[in-house]
Amino acid sequence: MLKNFMVYVLSDSVGDTAEQVARATAEQYKNTDYEIKKYPYVESKNKVDDILQGIDSQAVIVVYTIVNEELASYLKLNCQQRKIPYIDIMEPCLNTFTDFLNRQPARESGVIRKLDEDYFKRVEAVEFAVKYDDGKDPRGILKADIVLIGVSRSSKTPLSMYLAHKNYKVVNIPLVKGAKVPEQLFEVSRRKIIGLMIDPSDLIEIRRERIRVLGLDSSVDYVSIEKIMEELEYAEKLMRRIGCPVIDMTKKAVEEAANLVIDIINDLN
């Protein structure tokens, strides 16, 4: 009965899954010492040969997650020839899923890692959008993938957040007549800037609802049609000066507007 043994963990990705399974299994055997050696990114037959060379087959078990069918078969054959016990963690799962779904797997390595990377990029983009929302810090303009400009209540913030969930770092800048425009807006490439316009009658209704929710006086300039027309005219002139594309947000869903923004940015870049 073995008192000490080695577990060789091989993976064409980082190998965390195989390591966790191997460790959880080994811990079930009390009064036995073991050591795990992990070999990530095993993507060639030469790498397999290098790892297996010189293994003491009496005290080693190989656990692997390799989705490439040819490489997995090569590893399995070599283990058999060297009389090294082995466990292919992925294959039983893939076989069962294949039968259940009646379709073949992509056999693409590192899928979980890519999903994790995508998740953290999305979190970073959302944090970026919150940090630089509504012109809080104009320095974000130079770091952004997309810069949205428009008057108050033209859907800049919800559009920024939606785009952030698509992994875009977005800054939105309110355009207020009489207020200084951030100088960074003229330093960044115009290909990153998208102007948002909206029909004045729709805008006044949106602002009136906002005023009602906040419990403020509905007679303020914020909902004055004259002031709104002045704001929109000022915004339009500034957008022409910058030379950026403009999207009409009137009655547009955020999802629809986001798709337009992405299409424009991709075309321009």
CA distance 120 to 113: 11
Cα–Cα distances (Å) from 63 to 38, 117, 165, 166, 218, in that order, read 9, 25, 37, 37, 70
Any known ligand binding at 111?
no
Any known ligand binding at 201?
no
Residues facing residue 252 across a β-bridge: none
Task: Say which amino acid occupies 113.
Answer: R
Contact 175, 238 (CB under 8 A): yes
Nearest partner of 43 among 66, 62, 63, 61, judged by Cα: 66
Task: Say which amino acid occupies 220.
Answer: V
Nearest partner of 62 among 95, 30, 89, judged by Cα: 89
CA distance 72 to 90: 10
CA distance 163 to 254: 9
Tokens for 256, please give them: 């629809």
Any known ligand binding at 157?
yes
| Contact partners, residue 197, CB within 8 Å, separation at least 6 | 150, 154, 232, 235, 236, 239, 246, 247, 248, 249, 250
Any known ligand binding at 250?
no
Any known ligand binding at 152?
yes
SS (H, E, C) 25-37: HHCCCCCCEEEEE
Tokens for 95, please give them: 């076989």
Any known ligand binding at 151?
yes
- Residue ranges for the known binding site for ADP are 150-157
- Residue ranges for the known binding site are 150-157
